[in-house]
Amino acid sequence: MIRILQFGRIGQVGQELLAQAPAHDVVLETVERDDLDLTDAAALERFLDRAAPFDALVNAAAYTAVDRAESESGLAHALNAEAPRLMAKACAARGVPLLHISTDYVFDGTRTGAYRETDRANPQSVYGWTKLAGEEAVLGAHDRNVVLRTAWVFSRGGQNFVRTMLRLAREREVLRVVDDQRGCPTPACDIADALLRVAVRITRGAESGPQGVFHFCGDTACTWADFAEATLEEGARHGITARVERIPTTDYPTPAKRPANSVLDCSRITSVHGIAPAPWRSRLPDHVDALVKSL
């Protein structure tokens, strides 16, 4: 059995990590921000000393309020950049790998095709810049560390785009949804599976270059309007009958700028770890079924 510490247990990916760990022969011990100030270096060191020995640390904690980060840049930086820096430093001192979740929003969206790990990052928002700073800190601390960039996360619980569309569709006949931003919806269950598989390979001494940045997301790109329509197709089975009106980003201004294209190329994680992109469309029906029950 492999013992892994997990920071962040209440988010979408955090919950899925807990659910899936036993199937990977992983003993997962979780820590939340209420239990430990992740920006307090001394407290973090004391905690890790008490928790030792462990084989790896997975950081699923983050500031994810993309628009609010524009006015809360200090808090976003503390959680997305400073906390990972302290984790990475502490893990490096103990010779333990850190696996860290990042985002497609580190890119500016100007590329025509899918973004590769080697493409230049150029965030367009405070959220994106703080996540990039966290990536750099993690990668610079230890050569066994991993950054997993993902996108458009949804799950059977928590707050996400699918839940929002279903809730609004119960209240309105028409949903106006942006149709000029492209990305890849990604089920949190598949992100958790990918993280655990990579963590197991690292801790067991895989020799095929497991460290560095990896992209992992849904297998088919779409726009937010496409994603909304796919969600409502499933919602129709529950009597949810709203329709989608496709609009440009200019008709739905937000404090934070989103990339027009944030499609990720997942070929590296497939070639190195044998992990295929997430089949998001086939996952959608059971996610919608679960979310409808909780509305």
Does the structure show a pLDDT above 80 at 171? yes
241 within a domain of the structure (yes/no) = no
164 within a domain of the structure (yes/no) = no
User: Each residue of 43-79: pLDDT tens digit?
Assistant: 999 999 998 899 999 999 999 999 999 999 999 999 9
104 within a domain of the structure (yes/no) = yes
User: Each residue of 266-275: pLDDT tens digit?
Assistant: 999 999 999 9
7 within a domain of the structure (yes/no) = yes
56 within a domain of the structure (yes/no) = yes
Name the domain count of the chain.
Answer: 1
Q: pLDDT band at 209, cuts 50/70/90? A: low
Active-site residue, 127 included: yes
DSSP state letters, 125-169: SHHHHHHHHHHHHHHHH-TT-EEEEE-SEE-SSSS-HHHHHHHHH
What is the rounded average pLDDT of the residues 107-121?
Answer: 97
Residue 60 phi, psi dihedral angles, 5° rounding: -110, 10
DSSP state letters, 28-87: EEEE-TTT--TT-HHHHHHHHHHH-S-SEEEE------TTGGGT-HHHHHIIIIIHHHHH
Does the structure show a pLDDT above 60 at 293? yes
Predicted confidence at residue 207, as pLDDT, reads 52
Classify each residue of 100-119 as buried b or exposed e, where b means 16 or more C-beta atoms within 10 Å of its C-beta.
bbbbbbbbbbebeebbebeb
286 within a domain of the structure (yes/no) = no
292 within a domain of the structure (yes/no) = no
Predicted confidence at residue 199, as pLDDT, reads 94
287 within a domain of the structure (yes/no) = no
Residue 219, SS3 per DSSP: coil
User: What is the residue range of 97's domain?
Assistant: 2-159+186-218+263-279
User: Each residue of 15-34: pLDDT tens digit?
Assistant: 999 999 999 999 999 987 77
Catalytic residue among 63, 105, 127, 252: 127
Q: Give me the CATH number covering residue 273.
A: 3.40.50.720
